[in-house]
Amino acid sequence: MSSDARRVEVHPGKEAVVEFDPELTFECVEECTWCCHHGVLLYEPDFLALADCANLAEATTSFRGEDFVRQERKDRDDHVDENGDACFFLREDGLCSLHADHDWKPARCSVFPLTVTVEDDEIHVDVRESAHEHCEGLDVSERRVVDNLDAFLPAVLWELDDPETRREL
């Protein structure tokens, strides 16, 4: 990965403009699960890949022409939404069943706690506003985000008509 000021080559020929402090570090904190309380937008390649891991009729829902991992009621008090719901794939032990059983997760889950916007046809990446308040994994390790952007920004984002991360269920 090479960098030129705040422009970083994340995958060969695919650059992102980094808007956050390059000293930012991140390591997901076990048992946190805060970011798994919502429904996850599935890009078309994710939707197709998910078909190999799960029953789409059970696990997904459509809203305004887009596909999402649906939420379901969870027997837990924390990190659920106001209805007590969280992501269909969030297990009781706090792990993601897709990640645990299939070593895979939707692109949108990889991006968190970052957020993607597009300006002048370039992908810009910053820390999601809600993550500053809720994500426990920011600045708790030595793992600089800017050095590991390929783990957060799957190459598929550069193939999408609209890779912006503003949409949630």
Footprint on this chain of ligand SF4 (rule: CB under 6 A): 28-29, 32-36, 40, 69, 87, 89-90, 96, 98-99, 105-106, 109, 112-113, 134-137
Q: Burial, 89: exposed, middle or buried (Cβ in 10 Å; 0-12, 13-18, 19+)?
A: buried
Shortest Cβ 122–ligand SF4 spacing (Å): 25
Shortest Cβ 5–ligand SF4 spacing (Å): 27
Cα separation values, 89 from 73, 85, 166, Å = 11, 11, 21
Which of 88, 90, 41, 45 has the alpha carbon at shortest distance from 63? Answer: 41
Shortest Cβ 12–ligand SF4 spacing (Å): 26
| Interatomic CA distance for residues 125 and 158, integer angstroms | 13
Nearer to ligand SF4, 16 or 39 (CB): 39
Nearer to ligand SF4, 32 or 118 (CB): 32
Residue 169 DSSP one-character state: -
Shortest Cβ 118–ligand SF4 spacing (Å): 22
Nearer to ligand SF4, 18 or 109 (CB): 109
Nearer to ligand SF4, 9 or 91 (CB): 91
Neighbours of 164 (CB within 10 A): 13
